[in-house]
Homo-oligomer: A and B are copies of this chain.
Amino acid sequence: MDNRQIVLARRPVGQVDDSTTTLVSSPRPLCGEGEALIKVAMLSIDPTIRTWMNDAPGYLPPIELGAVIRGSGTGLVVESRSERYHVGEVVFGMTGWQEWVLATDEVRFSVVPQGMGLDLATVMNVLGVTGITAFFGLVEVGQMKEGDVVVVSGAAGATGSVAGQIAKARGAAKVVGIAGGPEKCAEVVEKYGFDECLDYRQGGLSQRLVESCPKGVDLYFDNVGGEILDDVLTNVAMHARVVLCGAISQYNSTGSRRGIENTSMLIMRRGRMEGFIVLDYASRFVEAQTELATMVLAGTLHHQEHILHGLEKAPEALNLLFSGGNHGKTLVVVDDSVQLG
């Protein structure tokens, strides 16, 4: 039996293209003692995957040439020789871009809770790394307080849309999104309930932020980096917190990164800029999932999934994140027979 896999053929310069990855076929792995065989169901397509393709220092080592593309996903346990996993369970972990994967002592998976009446795509979006990132970024790193003026970039995106909704639910005075194009901006306001959304493609963002947030920005949840980060920095309020969640505008850049010119505003306004990686909060995921699940089940957390079908679509799906062609959390279905009970 085969295991189709997408491997890294060449490190991309700028955008991922046909030469970056190759679809190969390997034998399906055999389940050894203490292991479990997982049939991959759905891949989570995240911007961070692009950073792992570079031969550059990061919070995880680069993906090696010839290796399966690293990424998280869900799958079904079809065989188990481990006490940790049971056949029929749906599990979440670093599946990689392939059809089959082994759970081992090194590569561990967590069981996806069933019986909540939520489908797999919803769980992978809101209760997965995406929603959890929004939660800890806002609540822990950003130390969000009631009455804060909160700005979120990538506001139509999977993490940004959830971050803004948590901010509203927790009593922000105002939540302003930043997104690209009128369609996305409308979605951010109408679907996700932000108070306002600024289209960065219109230019003059710095000045429009002054008008939207005349008393300054208390908390900025940054998913994009670059010029937008600089524009928000010019508008930070006293004791502002800038949460660096991602810098998607920079991941495909081929030259040097765009320099941030307004860091001295952090002195003027006694601001704090802090980066984080959601994996640091692994031991506290349940805390975020509980609040997020409660909101989803109450119908107060709106979300959207952008689903592509077929393992071979994964590279295309990754590029959608950078072109802005996705609407909501981007997922790739590898096997649609796996469903949550």
Contacts and interface: CB of A to CB of B under 8 A. Distances in A.
A224 to B, nearest CB: 11
Contacts of A245: 267
B271 A274 contact: yes
Q: Label chain A's interface by main secondary structure.
A: loop
A257 B268 CA distance: 15
Contacts of A244: 263-264, 266-267
A258 B259 CA distance: 7
A277 B266 contact: no
Interface string A263-280: 111111111111111001
Copies in the complex: 2
Contacts of A259: 230, 258-261
Contacts of A299: none
Contacts of A340: none
A225 interface: yes
Contacts of A265: 275
A276 B270 contact: yes
A246 interface: yes
B280 A267 contact: no
B272 A274 contact: yes
A206 to B, nearest CB: 12
A247 interface: yes
Contact of A264 (B257, B262, B266): B257
A27 interface: no
A266 B270 contact: no
A247 B225 contact: no
A61 B280 CA distance: 41
A227 to B, nearest CB: 10
Contacts of A280: 270
A256 B261 contact: yes
A274 B263 contact: no
A274 B270 CA distance: 7
A257 B229 CA distance: 15
Contacts of A269: 59, 275
B276 A264 contact: no
A203 interface: no
A14 B266 CA distance: 22
A271 B262 CA distance: 18
12 contacts: A59-B269, A244-B263, A244-B267, A247-B267, A250-B264, A258-B261, A266-B274, A266-B275, A270-B280, A272-B273, A272-B275, A273-B273
Given A270-B280, A273-B273, 10 more contacts: A244-B264, A250-B264, A257-B264, A260-B260, A263-B263, A263-B273, A266-B275, A267-B276, A268-B277, A272-B273
